[in-house]
Amino acid sequence: MVNNAMILAAQNILAQAPNSAGVNLLVVPDSVAMGDNPAITIKQGIHVGHYRNLCNAPESVKYVDPALLANWPVLVGNIAIDTILVQEGVMGNGFNAVLRDTVIWHELGHVLHGRTENAQVFLHELNQILNVHGQPATQAIVTNRRPSYNSVPANDVNRPALALLLLNTWNVVI
């Protein structure tokens, strides 16, 4: 159930990253479909109304804490381009804390560097988790996310910097 504490916790994680001031983030019920992603960044106008409708649908609202219901329409109404939506499961007690932070900072990378899975988005994510959690605590997360990093197109001008950071810090080859 989405509650105010979850939203504040996610916003506090976001605020640890440089350039996050003014970025809108909302934790939404897991019933808000985002494909296979635990979080997304709204990058196209057509998605603003779509996600507002999903968040206000009865099958979503029933998973909003009653104490938050009065403010829910306002929070959902603030969904706009570059809003980060995070599914409630990411903020749950059983979700890995380093992965949780990675998910949120990855989405901030999309706010700052565009909608595609490009090297700048991943460099932002990696530098942030490294700065906050250090190399040992992030090794397993980075190793498991290797296929995502490897999906960066070969012609991305920042791919060499991404490859170098992954290799030198985590011994991950892309």
CB-based contacts of 75, cutoff 8 Å, min separation 6: 7, 26, 68
* Rounded Cα gap, residues 36 and 29, in angstroms: 14
State the amino acid at position 11 in one-letter form. Answer: Q
pLDDT of 25 reads 98
Mean pLDDT, rounded, of the chain: 97
Predicted pLDDT at 134: 97
For the packed helices 97-113 and 119-144, what is the interaxial angle rounded to 10 degrees?
160
Place of tokens 């995070």: 86
What tens digit of pLDDT does each residue of 16-71 get?
999 999 999 999 999 999 999 999 999 999 999 999 999 999 999 999 999 999 99
Q: How far apart are CA 114 and CA 140, in angstroms?
A: 26
pLDDT at 8: 98
